[in-house]
Amino acid sequence: MENKCIWNKYSKTQLKELEALNADYIDFLSACKTERECVDEIVTRIEDAGYVDINSYIKEKKQITAGDKLYAVNMNKSLIMIQVGSAPLEEGLNILGAHIDSPRIDIKQNPLYEDSGLAYLDTHYYGGIKKYQWVTTPLAMHGIVAKKDGTNIIIQLGEEADDPVFFISDLLIHLSAEQLEKKASHVIEGEALDIIIGNRPIAPSKKKGKEEESADEKDAVKKSILALLKEYYDMEEEDFLSAELEIVPAGKARECGLDRSMVLGYGQDDRVCAYPSYRAMLAVEGLEKTAVCILTDKEEIGSVGATGMQSRFFENTMAELASLEGEYTDLKLRRMLAASFMLSSDVNSAFDPTYASSFEKKNAAFLGRGMVLGKFHGARGKSGTNDANAEYIGKLRGVFDKDKVSFQMAELGRVDLGGGGTIAYMLAKYGMNVIDCGVAVLNMHAPYEVTSKADIYETYRGYISFLKNA
């Protein structure tokens, strides 16, 4: 059984919709390179579409009614959208769940140092990366500095045409004979991912004594950087202690290919699923079952912490929702969650002919052949995975066929080669039906990932169909 290319199935009207959706997606991807930026951008957009902070309902003790649109934010890093349907909550929810964090490089809490006339920031990489892919490429800095007086400084540097950028150095080919003998996992070590941020020393003081001149020369480049941080951001060195600064590839997402059929950009795992998830929520109205979209943090490091899927944020928000419907009981909440259906909106690896031996071709996903369903992920003997029920997959086939949504089913690579995980099993613990469902990606976890415009559009259509008909 072979899935066909979907490009030629679209009408002229649909092709215009496809291009408009992807143009907006490219803008979104370019503007939202951290989880905080994703939450800020999406909240701005959904408030314009009529979504209201759930806390206003809670404060006013206002009951929900069909058609109400609510959202909840957790520590500015994760977000839940809700559109209330006409059916009682105990009949279950239709849930889309994606993550908005991506592999990157984080700045340590005591990072700034100077060595041999170069100023560096010490780093710790976040998520699964091939470290050698991050050297000698323009990098930008995004994040927040929380000062002890309660003020926050937002930093975004390296994205505008006249902004400076940063980089991680690599050894020149002429001297790299020993380096090239190493395994790829050790060509660049984690502690060698420090970014270079300056080379110009601070101007010497007008003091004339030798001791004063010697003091001026020590760490003069570091002192210059600190002076600039003070000038531009009113930031002291100790403010790094309470900073969250993320290093990401600089520059905008782009159309890719002579035919402009693809999107190339940073962070498409998993923002290529988060984007159509929230857009699908904006596209539906008059629902029977209540629709929920979860955009969570920390998936790339195990969904841990207060903003990850393993926190109680989702459960607590659903408890608040149940309470806003009327009398709350724990049993009502449990019934509501157990009766729910979910698409764990996460990416799958696209088949790459250059590395064909890493895939089992009959069960691989392909660019341009539609949305991808993954019955399971995990590693080797399905370790650590949710494994969707056949009955649920059968139901979804009917849902997607109703709206002529093209989909393919795939595994993540060849058996025994590796594997991966998603948030699916964390929601399945409530007894709900869950399956992974998203977009195929080339270069997954690289600084620049590639997706098909057609797959993005088809996934958007599939999410709408799910929210309406599941």
State the pLDDT at residue 327: 87
Cβ atoms within 10 A of the Cβ of 446, count?
18
Q: What are phi and psi of 410, to 5 degrees?
A: -150, 155
pLDDT 10s digits, 192-248 = 999 999 999 998 876 655 555 555 678 999 999 999 999 999 999 999 999 999 999
State the pLDDT at residue 416: 84
State the pLDDT at residue 204: 84
Query: What is the three-class DSSP state of 356?
Result: helix
Mean local confidence (pLDDT), 9-13: 97
In the predicted structure, residue 36 carries a pLDDT above the cut 80? yes
**pLDDT level of residue 383 (50, 70, 90 thresholds):** confident
Distance CA 397, CA 404 (A): 10
> Could you tell me the sign of the dihedral formed by the alpha carbons of 235, 238, 243, 248, in that order?
positive
pLDDT 10s digits, 293-310 = 999 999 999 999 999 999
Identify which of 393, 419, 421 has the alpha carbon closest to the alpha carbon of residue 407: 393
State the pLDDT at residue 107: 98
SS3 content of the chain, % helix, strand, coil (to 5): 40, 25, 35
> How many residues does the structure list for the chain?
470
> Which domains, from first to last, does the chain contain?
7-102+266-469 (3.40.630.10), 104-249 (2.30.250.10)
pLDDT 10s digits, 420-442 = 889 999 999 999 999 999 999 99
**Averaged pLDDT of the chain:** 95
State the pLDDT at residue 95: 98
Q: Look up tokens 């003790």; give the residue.
A: 61
Query: Do 141 and 235 form a contact (C-beta atoms < 8 A)?
Result: no
Identify which of 19, 83, 409 has the alpha carbon closest to the alpha carbon of residue 277: 83
What is the C-alpha R_g of the chain?
24
Q: What are phi and psi of 184, to 5 degrees?
A: -55, -35
In the predicted structure, residue 453 carries a pLDDT above the cut 80? yes
> ∠248-249-255 over CA atoms, to 5°?
130
Using the 8-state DSSP alphabet, how is residue 184 labeled?
H
Distance CA 184, CA 143 (A): 30
State the pLDDT at residue 216: 61
Query: Do 148 and 240 form a contact (C-beta atoms < 8 A)?
Result: no
**pLDDT level of residue 384 (50, 70, 90 thresholds):** confident
State the pLDDT at residue 206: 67
In the predicted structure, residue 91 carries a pLDDT above the cut 90? yes
Give one DSSP letter per residue of 59-109, joined into a string. Answer: HHTPPP-TT-EEEEEETTTEEEEEE--SS-GGG-EEEEEEE----EEEEEE
The pTM for the full model equals: 0.95
Mean local confidence (pLDDT), 178-201: 96
Q: In terms of C-beta density within 10 A (0-12 exposed, 13-18 middle, 19 or more buried), how is residue 178 classed?
A: exposed
Distance CA 356, CA 350 (A): 11
pLDDT 10s digits, 331-371 = 999 999 999 999 999 999 999 999 999 999 999 999 999 99
Cβ atoms within 10 A of the Cβ of 203, count?
11
Mean local confidence (pLDDT), 307-322: 97
State the pLDDT at residue 418: 74
pLDDT 10s digits, 101-145 = 999 999 999 999 999 999 999 999 999 999 999 999 999 999 999
Give one DSSP letter per residue of 104-163, joined into a string. Answer: EEEEEEEEEEEETTEEEEEEEEESS--GGGGTTS-EEEEEEEE-TTS-EEEEEES-STTS
State the pLDDT at residue 377: 83
Cα distances (angstroms) measured from residue 74 to each of 8, 100, 296: 42, 13, 9
Mean local confidence (pLDDT), 390-402: 96
User: Could you give the dihedral angle defined by the CA atoms of residues 276, 281, 285 and 288, in that order, rounded to the nearest 10 degrees?
Assistant: 110
